[in-house]
Amino acid sequence: MTGRINRRDFIKKSAATGAVTGITFGGSSRAAVLTDLYDRQNSPNERLTLGFIGVGARAHQVLSEVLRMPGFEVAGVCDAYRGRVDRAVEKTGGRAKVYRDASELLAAPGIDAVYIGTPDHWHKSHAIAALEAGKDVYIEKPLTYTVDEGLEIIRAVKKTGRILQVGSQNISSPTQLKAREIIESGRLGQITMIRSTTNRNTAGGAWIYPIPPDANDQTVNWDMFQGPAPKYPFSLERFFRWRCYKDYSGGIATDLFVHTMTTIHYIMAAQAPECVMATGDLYRWKESRDVPDTLNALIQYPEGFTVNLSATFNNQSAGERGIEILGTKGTLTLGRELTFTPENPIEDNDWIVASWARALEDAYFKDPKIRQSEQPQRWDPKVIPAGESWRGIGRNSTMLHLENFQRAVRNRKQPIEDVFAGHRAAAVAQMINLSASRKMPVFWDRSKDGLKA
């Protein structure tokens, strides 16, 4: 490919020109460039033609990014609701061809790769059909609806040699790469706990999305939506709010926690937990769903740390706080920004030694080491070590993740969120659901999971 520059050249060039794609350090003028210009160099005639299987709400976000990127051409779309197809075609200026369903789209000539944005219960069938049709695949998270499906998709990727990227786009963001580097450097000391809270208190946050007024049994293809799910009478609620129902979704764990787990696996270079314990229940939104609206999970890793995830749709005071990585030397908070806060541990044993013989108490505080570690002035803000923060700038993470996919397709090398990463993150979410529903711990035996990469 012509016009391509390698990463080292790019970093040199960017340092000279002050290029800004990347992250800044605490508002200072230093800038780290963490992505390269590869995809801006693509000539239009090297375009990757994409077919969209499912053009729902998320697909429309992705479509808008794809249409702004030079390396893609949207060649075709299909969906089970006419309104979304029409809107997608309109966005492409009429260029995208409409196909009746996924199999017609996959059989059409001139489509190199597909974006799969269907509900979760369809992911495995659509992914395997696309791989077997010789397409590269960008598929939304969660990769799977059950753990076993992950193994089937892994086999299909290996057999066909196609590229597969899973769509937890945040791991392509520069802040997550920076978080990984900081953790790798040991700056946080020993990390034993990671926690994250995703709380909401709105109907939309609880997935009760508005239903388009033109939706009816003429504009919605109910059979196409149901596919491999248990059969149920026509229901617009189920069609447009499928996350609320176990027949199509794993609820909070597979919709929200899966993003967090993808990130945690990536920044901690961890693969899979050894044990998951979770509790959850449906306390409030009982008329609209059969999945829990409140879920707590503890996930233990053989690498020596525990993850603590929680979410409720019944209070939002804690909000969606991002991920806190707690180390003996500092805390890294990963949300829209990345913040490092050093630890400032102060011993406070006054009340213990106050119960000793007076002479021993006096001697204790005469020890210079004790005076140093228990000095009350260490609370003084002037002596508390300063923190640092970073933010991603430039292209958004969806675009960066799509670029990563595009690069993988062109180089024939699996992308950042390959089938293994997607399977493992989704499997943790499914273990959380299993543990919560059976009220018992669930274990992952890595020596038997048969996963090599």
Ligand X SMILES: NC(=O)c1ccc[n+]([C@@H]2O[C@H](COP(=O)([O-])OP(=O)(O)OC[C@H]3O[C@@H](n4cnc5c(N)ncnc54)[C@H](O)[C@@H]3O)[C@@H](O)[C@H]2O)c1
User: What's the closest the beta carbon of residue 188 comes to ligand X, in angstroms?
Assistant: 27
User: What's the closest the beta carbon of residue 106 comes to ligand X, in angstroms?
Assistant: 11
User: What's the closest the beta carbon of residue 365 comes to ligand X, in angstroms?
Assistant: 55
Comparison of 42 and 200: residue with beta carbon closer to ligand X: 200
Comparison of 46 and 247: residue with beta carbon closer to ligand X: 247
Comparison of 182 and 309: residue with beta carbon closer to ligand X: 309
User: What's the closest the beta carbon of residue 226 comes to ligand X, in angstroms?
Assistant: 8
User: What's the closest the beta carbon of residue 140 comes to ligand X, in angstroms?
Assistant: 3
DSSP state of 254: I
Report the interhelical angle of 258-267 vs 174-185 (nearest 10°).
40
Which H helix or E strand runs over 33? strand 31-33
Residues within the interface to ligand X (CB under 6 A) = 53-54, 56-59, 78-81, 84, 101-102, 117-120, 122, 140-141, 167, 169, 224-225, 227, 255
User: What's the closest the beta carbon of residue 143 comes to ligand X, in angstroms?
Assistant: 9
Instruction: Name residues whose C-beta falls within 8 Å of residue 322's C-beta, 6 or more positions apart in sequence.
Output: 196, 333, 334, 335, 336
Instruction: Name residues whose C-beta falls within 8 Å of residue 320's C-beta, 6 or more positions apart in sequence.
Output: 197, 198, 199, 200, 335
Q: How many Å apart are CA 156 and CA 149, to the nearest integer?
A: 11
Comparison of 1 and 211: residue with beta carbon closer to ligand X: 211
Q: How many Å apart are CA 289 and CA 274, to the nearest integer?
A: 31
Q: How many Å apart are CA 303 and CA 296, to the nearest integer?
A: 21
- Is the separation of the CB atoms in 78 and 221 below 8 Å? no
Q: How many Å apart are CA 62 and CA 52, to the nearest integer?
A: 10
User: What's the closest the beta carbon of residue 101 comes to ligand X, in angstroms?
Assistant: 6
Comparison of 83 and 342: residue with beta carbon closer to ligand X: 83
CA 54 to chain centre: 20
Comparison of 178 and 401: residue with beta carbon closer to ligand X: 401
Sheet bearing 136-139, strands edge to edge = 97-98, 72-78, 48-53, 113-116, 136-139, 164-166
Comparison of 312 and 397: residue with beta carbon closer to ligand X: 397
